[in-house]
Amino acid sequence: MEKRKLGKSNLEVSAIGLGCMGMSHRYGPVGDWKEMISLIHSAIDRGVTFFDTAEVYGPFANEELVGEALAPYRDKIVIATKFGIKIVDGKHVQDSRSEVIRSSIEGSLKRLKTDFIDLYYQHRVDPNVPIEEVAETVKDLMKEGKVKHWGLSEAGVQTIRRAHKVLPLTAVQSEYSMWWRRPEEELLPTLEELGIGFVPYSPLGKGFLTGRFNKNSKFEKSDFRNIVPRFTPENLDANQILVDLIKKVAADKDSTPAQIALSWLLAQKPWIVPIPGTTKLERLEENLGSVNIKLIPEELQSINSALDKIKIMGDRYPEEFEKTTGL
């Protein structure tokens, strides 16, 4: 597995990480605990060193799972987790007050069975707490040795600039894939300018870009995709044109649609590290195989030109989730 550094930091991780949220949160039935631990160990065996979780996943259960799985390998891996979202009456609410962050870090350290967090993200920007105050709190946690690097998730470029002035950011995490390219407009140029790494979540479009779904697809009752506008039968059908494009490229490269979607991300910038999630070993191996698929500039230009002509139908989140979702 090749390695990448997140921006100008010295934080080196595997070129593809593992998003662990779906093992216990949001995507249908929770995975078997022992099987998920075995899957995380299989990822380590295959060179993955970067594991992503969050306090709110579960809540708490995902950190506990990841903590138990990674404890024997702590000196060989990088753990990313997140603070700043709590669940109130079943809804996600941002809360990044200093005392809440301090409470969160203690809980995360205990659940993750570690003395420090390698990469600590603010999960969503709190409109009630200036980002400068958040940065100062994290700076104190760094002085105490509890945090090594910090980042922001789904933050706007002005917030990123303000935070970075107080305490240099190592990474920003946001959704980015062939069917959500908005980061290309302002975010990627800003991160390049400031020397901040980028960690795309949902790099496979919540599974859509793998080609596994169509207008007849049904999801488990507890699966978040049931309320995602892009996963209505009409939009699944309308967006198949994107899958058809990816399948064509995959056939030409003797690979799979998932591998093309991930290799496309890897080819954008050398400081981009996607974190696809899965609960299945065969999908893990497929995803990791994307590092061996190299798209040359001419191929990228051709793909991007085709993508520019495709209008994606449906919002990426329900309206009430757009600002506060912990995904």
Beta-bridged to residue 223, according to DSSP, are 27
Q: Which residues, including other chains, have CB under 8 Å from residue 23's CB and lie 6 or more apart?
A: 30, 31, 36, 39, 62, 65, 277, 279
- The residue annotated as part of the active site, out of 57, 120, 121, 176, is 57
Supply 96's token pair. Answer: 């990044």
Is residue 59 reached through a cis peptide bond, with omega within 30 degrees of 0 on the bond before it? yes
- DSSP assigned state of 277: B
CB 30 within 8 A of CB 271: no
H helices present in 167-296, as ranges: 187-194, 233-238, 240-252, 257-268, 281-288
Residue 3 host element (H or E): strand 3-5
Beta-bridged to residue 120, according to DSSP, are 81, 150
Supply 321's token pair. Answer: 């989730």
Whether 57 is catalytic is: yes
Task: Indicate which residues carry an active-site annotation.
Answer: 57
